[in-house]
């Protein structure tokens, strides 16, 4: 493997440092998990799995081995993890059985000790082993996994996550070993594959969900061994090969078998191991497995899941915040940073270790699709996520930093004199505008940071305006003020008539209490809105660009209308359609006014249902935004010389090929400004949300800030949100700049 | 690409375009049908495609009934003062700054451009809290002048950014020719550059104007008395009450109509004005 050198030359020192890093990371992981084992309160479901473990404990202590095939409390989940907890309880005395309560019951008030602690420790130990595995791949990745708060929480409780997460990692690792020995005639290849199949079977017997790792392996396998001339075999679908069918009808089938066969066998072996590791299935495998699987399908539609009202993109929220529920338990909360680094590192991971990138992507896709959105599910991908985050550090921080340092040493001496002359010439031109802008735009922005550090609100408005903000800030900075706390979402305000110093507490609270979640919504909303606008706008522009289409300018003029209408009027016209009581759509949908239109009644609930409300917002947003895209695309299309198409037509390219190869790549740079402008509009969108009033998680930062200012009068909280927005905008601007500088070579070639 | 479209294709294309037109027009008609309906009291309770009784009554009412203690024209006057004043000040104060960014390579230029762009990207709400405090302290928060300053703060960075792009689009060679004749920088700016950039600057000013013309949410936070309300603020105030939907619709249409006409006439210039500069530099 490619060991990173980080500038250290001596090989023995590198190895020693690496081993030390692995040991340190593993120790840190163990300590963090044991801390959580001690401190975490009892959570949902812990009583269930501890009860299951108790039953196994009793059976084993009584030597009643046959009972193991009949016991599996909470049979919707396979038994292996519960059995492991049961084994760990064997040395302990029996205590009265934990009562049987429904899954939706609130967390148990108390559970027997030390049983709870022992079972939790087993989970924590298996997860620490997972960290060890990852640290061997990359110590930094191990560190990320070691401090990932969601991973810590759900493997320091009696949940089912610890064991299958570990065996899933082993499945992928052993499979990777087999790929390394995949050369011609090398031994060990099959052995590693058999081991990985065994681990996949154990994973399935731990918790079904973690089999996405096996899915990733399968995809990687079939992709890598796809029979092409390059890998030795023949492409079974090439014309030359297909011709042979005439002489040997079994030829392509044989190729197929050679390709799919081993993977199929591997899967079968995993299934066998799965059944072998699930004693509960032995007496009636098919029926009991079916019941268990059917439960999960039904559960997605149950009141528990539907009633939670978590939107489609909720897993992204779980990934971008640290565990918000247990203050003081987790030493550091960098989950958001890990996810950010993972996003940055994913392209590089894809090039260097596609297997893990596949695991991450497939796991993420599954989380998005699967309707149940419990937070512990993200543990199926925290292993590759941490690896991607480590890759992000290497590819996006370490390597650029090294290159930058090299450039810095070579930089030419500054041309100071010329610059000073230019400044003197520019100064009189700059002065008036700079002064005005500084006073009315940039000074307020800085002042806002000051407001955000206090608890300024309507009650203390008089004091604040008469200089209270500055006074408290000075006190706070010089350490003479006792910081107070601000409750962000409470409707009540502090009763103090004077402004008080808070510090960055409100800001941190906002980030942990939903700020990152809002950012996820902002991302989803911006991408969806701009995507829909671009699709419709470019589509219409392409149609209007075809020679011979009649009434072009008439249609174009008509389509400009929504753009010309002020945004809040545009939102108003859609509200007059979708208003749940008086809207045009709903007046028509329930016509004639008789009960029994369930669909219309469901739809009329859109102001309570985030997923429905998203569609309403998207329809209105597309209506408002597509005209600018259409105009920009039309202008762009006119600039593409027709000769290019003539050449393509001679080469025999069809319409779609022409679009893919010519129109789109030439159009995209011309469309970029429009895409960016509409993206910023969507990110800052305010009136649409103000008028349509969708349910809470669907709000832009701007709308939330306004709402808090206007209806709760907590000016400081609204300032905190604004500061957050400005920071996000600055970061995205820096990123844009990097991207556009990289793209410049293409755009202005 | 060169061949003409056949008749079935033509029909297909026209059908697709007509369905997009339906998407565009349906909500607009949804509003118009309310505005032209005389019989509507309060909110509509039955599904109608056409106004039950067609009349311009709602428009007459919207024109004559005073809102926020002001007539339609009074509100319009406030809107013009506030947003026109903001746009004019932004252009006049920002033009020379924009020129400096377009022509000089002074130290701190990159940082300045970054700050300008940041100011352009800010949501209006992001400046609301500090401006509220600062303008209250100055005692001008609830006045038309105060509101004008608020809208200026929102729009000046955008205006400067756009004018900079407009100046940059004018070839420097034209100025250099004038320098050779012995003209100074100021004369050249006044006689050569500014006239050439004027159309683009006008578009920037118009876009700036429209921000203030359609803004109401922050306006209502700052303004206290109805006599200082702008047109958009008055319309939004009805939106929250249960006044007849027809009158609200009529007002919204009256307010949007001039903008729509201007947009349709100037659409290509406005689009270029919005997209100019993009993200480069």
List pLDDT tens digits, range A102-124: 877 888 888 888 899 999 999 99
- Report the distance separating Cα B141 and Cα A165, nearest Å: 59
* Better pLDDT: A721 or B68: A721
Summarize the confidence of residues A116-138 as an average pLDDT.
94
The predicted-structure confidence for B97-148, as pLDDT tens digits, reads as follows: 999 998 888 878 888 888 888 888 889 888 998 999 889 888 888 899 999 9
- Cβ(A529)–Cβ(A678) below 8 Å: yes
Cβ of A548 within 8 Å of Cβ of B252? The answer is no
How far is the alpha carbon of B125 from chain A, nearest alpha carbon, in Å? 6
Residues 6+ apart with CB under 8 A from A327: none
CB contacts, 8 Å: A466 with chain B: 137
The pLDDT of residue A230 is: 45
CB contacts, 8 Å: B131 with chain A: 440, 444
Cβ of B133 within 8 Å of Cβ of A543? The answer is no
Query: pLDDT exceeding 90 applies to what percent of chain A?
Result: 36
> In the predicted model, is pLDDT for residue A233 greater than 60?
no
* Token output for B280: 């480069």
* Better pLDDT: A413 or B143: B143
Architecture of domain B66-241: Orthogonal Bundle (1.10)
The pLDDT of residue A229 is: 47
Residues 54-113 of B with CB under 8 A from A: 89, 93-100, 103-108, 112
How far is the alpha carbon of A338 from chain B, nearest alpha carbon, in Å? 27
Nearest to A88 by CA among A44, A124, A130: A124
- Report the distance separating Cα B44 and Cα A28, nearest Å: 66
- Report the distance separating Cα A161 and Cα A574, nearest Å: 46
Task: Output the CA angle A309-A310-A313, nearest 5 degrees.
Answer: 150
Ramachandran class of A346: left when φ > 0, alpha when ψ lies in -120 to 50, beta otherwise: alpha
Nearest to A18 by CA among A43, A33, A1, A34: A1
User: Given CB atoms, is B234 within the 8 Å cutoff of chain A?
Assistant: no
CB contacts, 8 Å: A465 with chain B: 133, 136-137
The pLDDT of residue B149 is: 92
- Report the distance separating Cα A54 and Cα A61, nearest Å: 10
> In the predicted model, is pLDDT for residue A351 greater than 90?
yes
How far is the alpha carbon of A472 from chain B, nearest alpha carbon, in Å? 15
pTM: 0.70
The pLDDT of residue A249 is: 56
B37: helix, strand or coil: strand
Compute the half-sphere exposure of residue A438: CA atoms within 13 Å on the CB side of its CA.
8
* DSSP conformation class of B241: S
- Cβ(B255)–Cβ(A569) below 8 Å: yes
User: Given CB atoms, is B140 within the 8 Å cutoff of chain A?
Assistant: no
Q: DSSP for A310-374, please give it.
A: --TTHHHHHHTS---S-TTT-S---HHHHHHHHHHHHHHHHHH-HHHHHHHHHHHHHHHHSS---
Architecture of domain A505-699: Orthogonal Bundle (1.10)
The pLDDT of residue A44 is: 87
Show me where the domains of chain A are located: 11-96+112-296+308-394, 505-699
Q: Least CB-CB distance to B17: which of A426, A555, A684?
A: A555
The pLDDT of residue A495 is: 76
Cβ of B45 within 8 Å of Cβ of A582? The answer is yes
Burial track A425-447 (b if 16+ CB lie within 10 A, e otherwise): ebeebbeebbebbeebbbebbeb
Cβ of A719 within 8 Å of Cβ of B130? The answer is yes
**Quick one: pLDDT band at residue B279, thresholds 50, 70, 90?**
very low
CB contacts, 8 Å: A564 with chain B: 256, 259-260, 262-264, 267
The pLDDT of residue A7 is: 56
Size of interface A-B (CB pairs under 8 A): 306
Show me where the domains of chain B are located: 7-57, 66-241
Query: pLDDT exceeding 70 applies to what percent of chain A?
Result: 91
Using only C-alpha atoms, chain B has a radius of gyration, in whole angstroms, of 23
B185: helix, strand or coil: helix
User: Given CB atoms, is B249 within the 8 Å cutoff of chain A?
Assistant: yes
Nearest CA in chain B to A706: B125
């Amino acid at each position: 493997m490619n060991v990173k050198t980080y500038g250290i030359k001596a090989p023995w020192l590198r190895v020693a440092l690496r081993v030390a890093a692995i040991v340190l990371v593993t120790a840190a992981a163990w300590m963090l998990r044991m801390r959580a084992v001690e401190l975490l309160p009892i959570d949902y479901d812990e009583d269930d799995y501890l009860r299951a473990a108790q039953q196994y404990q009793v059976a084993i202590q009584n030597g009643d081995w046959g009972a193991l095939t009949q016991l599996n409390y909470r049979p919707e989940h396979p038994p292996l993890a519960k059995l492991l907890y049961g084994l760990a309880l064997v040395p302990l005395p029996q205590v009265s059985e934990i009562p049987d309560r429904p899954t939706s019951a609130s967390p148990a008030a108390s559970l027997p000790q030390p049983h709870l602690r022992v079972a939790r420790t087993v989970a924590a130990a298996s997860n620490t082993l997972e960290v060890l595995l990852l640290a061997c791949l990359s110590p930094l990745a191990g560190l990320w996994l070691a401090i990932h708060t969601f991973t810590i929480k759900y493997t320091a409780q009696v949940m089912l996550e610890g064991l299958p997460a570990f065996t899933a990692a082993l499945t992928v690792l052993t499979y990777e070993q087999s790929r390394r020995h995949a050369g011609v005639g090398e031994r060990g290849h099959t052995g590693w594959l058999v081991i990985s199949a065994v681990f996949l079977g154990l994973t399935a017997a731990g918790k079904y969900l973690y089999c996405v790792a096996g899915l990733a392996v399968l995809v990687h396998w079939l992709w890598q061994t796809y029979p092409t001339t390059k890998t030795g075999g023949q492409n079974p679908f090439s014309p030359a090969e297909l011709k042979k069918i005439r002489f040997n009808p079994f030829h392509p089938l044989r190729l197929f078998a050679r390709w799919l066969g081993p993977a199929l066998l591997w899967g079968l072996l995993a299934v066998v191991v799965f059944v072998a590791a699930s004693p509960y299935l032995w007496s009636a495998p098919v029926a009991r497995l079916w019941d268990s699987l059917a439960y999960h399908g039904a559960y997605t539609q149950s009141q528990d899941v539907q009633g939670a009202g978590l939107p489609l993109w909720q897993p992204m929220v779980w990934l971008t915040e640290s565990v918000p529920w247990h203050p003081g338990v987790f030493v550091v909360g960098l989950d958001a940073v890990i996810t950010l680094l993972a996003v940055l590192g994913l392209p590089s991971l894809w090039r260097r270790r596609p297997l893990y990138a596949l695991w991450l992507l497939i796991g993420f896709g599954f989380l998005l699709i699967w309707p149940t959105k419990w937070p512990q599910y993200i543990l199926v991908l925290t292993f590759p996520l941490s690896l991607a985050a480590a890759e992000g550090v290497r590819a996006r921080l370490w390597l650029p930093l090294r290159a930058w340092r090299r450039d810095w040493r070579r930089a030419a001496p500054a041309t100071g004199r010329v610059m000073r002359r230019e400044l003197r010439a520019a100064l009189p031109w700059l002065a008036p505008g700079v002064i005005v802008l500084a006073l009315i735009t940039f000074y307020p922005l800085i002042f806002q940071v000051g407001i955000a550090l206090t608890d300024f609100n309507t009650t203390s408005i008089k004091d604040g305006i008469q200089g209270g903000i500055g006074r408290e800030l000075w006190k706070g900075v010089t350490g003479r003020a006792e910081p107070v706390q601000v409750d962000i979402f409470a409707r009540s305000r502090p009763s103090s008539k004077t402004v008080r110093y808070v510090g960055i507490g409100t800001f941190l609270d906002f980030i942990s209490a939903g700020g990152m979640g809002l950012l996820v919504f902002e991302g989803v909303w911006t991408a969806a809105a701009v995507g829909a606008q671009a699709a419709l706008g470019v589509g219409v522009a392409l149609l209007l660009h075809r020679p011979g289409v009649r009434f072009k300018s008439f249609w174009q003029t008509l389509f400009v209308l929504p753009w010309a209408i002020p945004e809040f009027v545009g939102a108003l016209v859609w509200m007059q359609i979708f208003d749940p009581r008086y809207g045009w759509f709903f007046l028509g949908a329930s016509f004639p006014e008789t009960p029994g239109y369930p669909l219309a009644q469901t739809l009329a609930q859109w102001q309570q249902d985030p997923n429905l409300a998203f569609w309403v917002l998207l329809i209105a947003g597309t209506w408002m935004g597509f005209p600018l895209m259409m105009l920009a695309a039309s202008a762009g299309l006119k600039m593409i010389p027709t000769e290019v198409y003539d050449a393509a037509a001679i080469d025999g390219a069809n319409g779609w090929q022409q679009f893919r190869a010519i129109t789109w790549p030439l159009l995209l740079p011309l469309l970029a400004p429009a895409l960016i402008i509409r993206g910023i509009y969507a990110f800052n969108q305010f009136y649409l949300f103000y008028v349509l009033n969708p349910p809470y998680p669907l709000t832009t930062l701007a709308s939330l800030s306004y709402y808090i200012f206007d209806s709760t009068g907590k000016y400081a909280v609204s300032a905190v949100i604004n500061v957050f927005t400005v920071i996000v905008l600055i970061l995205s601007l820096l990123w844009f700049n990097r991207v556009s500088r990289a793209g410049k070579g293409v755009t202005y070639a | 690409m060169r061949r003409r479209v056949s008749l079935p294709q033509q029909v297909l294309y026209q059908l697709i375009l007509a369905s997009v037109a339906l998407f565009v027009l349906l909500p607009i008609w949804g509003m118009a049908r309310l505005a032209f309906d005389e019989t509507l009291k309060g909110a509509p309770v039955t599904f109608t495609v056409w106004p039950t009784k067609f009349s311009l009554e709602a428009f007459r009412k919207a024109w004559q009934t005073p809102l926020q203690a002001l007539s339609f024209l009074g509100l319009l006057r406030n809107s013009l003062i506030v947003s026109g004043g903001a746009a004019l000040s932004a252009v006049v104060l920002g033009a020379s700054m924009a020129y400096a960014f377009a022509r000089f390579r002074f130290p701190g230029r990159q940082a300045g451009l970054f700050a300008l762009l940041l100011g352009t990207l800010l949501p209006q709400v992001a400046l609301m809290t500090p401006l509220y405090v600062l303008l209250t302290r100055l005692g001008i928060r609830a006045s038309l002048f105060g509101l004008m300053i608020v809208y200026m703060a929102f729009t000046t960075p955008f205006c400067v950014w756009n004018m900079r792009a407009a100046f940059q689009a004018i070839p420097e060679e034209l100025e250099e020719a004038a320098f050779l004749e012995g003209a100074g920088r100021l004369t050249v700016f006044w006689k050569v550059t500014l006239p050439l950039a004027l159309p683009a600057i006008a578009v920037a000013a118009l876009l700036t104007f429209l921000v203030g013309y359609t803004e109401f949410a922050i306006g209502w936070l700052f303004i206290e008395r109805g006599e200082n309300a702008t047109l958009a603020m008055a319309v939004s105030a009805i939106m929250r009450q249960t006044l007849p939907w027809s009158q609200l619709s009529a007002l919204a249409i009256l307010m949007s109509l001039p903008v729509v006409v201007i947009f349709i006439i100037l659409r290509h210039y406005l689009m270029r004005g919005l997209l100019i500069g993009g993200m480069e530099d």
